[in-house]
Amino acid sequence: RKEVEQDPGPFNVPEGATVAFNCTYSNSASQSFFWYRQDCRKEPKLLMSVYSSGNEDGRFTAQLNRASQYISLLIRDSKLSDSATYLCVVNSAGGGNKLTFGTGTQLKVEL
């Protein structure tokens, strides 16, 4: 089983739609969780951290369910500029800031 699993997509949605991505992780001792965004042929960039209480940043909401080892990202009112690959990222237990990346979920927002 992969450490971090995501549906690769692509998710094709119309502009203005709400879309949700899910991710599961296998190591129950994992400590920190993130969503990174990667545009085509560009480097990954941190989108947001994910906390157990859930957190929101504008149109983006991230949730963590430790019991189910499940992370989600919700994007409301999708924009064309949201088209990218969204990488689910887990900081492995034991510290050292070792990040394990999922394969990414590709989002295409269309007119």
Give residues in contact with other proteins (CB under 8 A): 4, 8, 32, 34, 42-46, 49, 87, 89, 91, 96-104
Reported residue count of the chain is 111
DSSP state of 67: T
Q: Which is nearer to other proteins, 17 or 99 (CB)?
A: 99
User: Which tokens go with 108?
Assistant: 């295409």
Q: Which of 27, 19, 22, 28 is nearest to 3 (CA)?
A: 27
Q: How far is the CB of 81 from other proteins (least distance, A)?
A: 20
Q: Which is nearer to other proteins, 5 or 13 (CB)?
A: 5
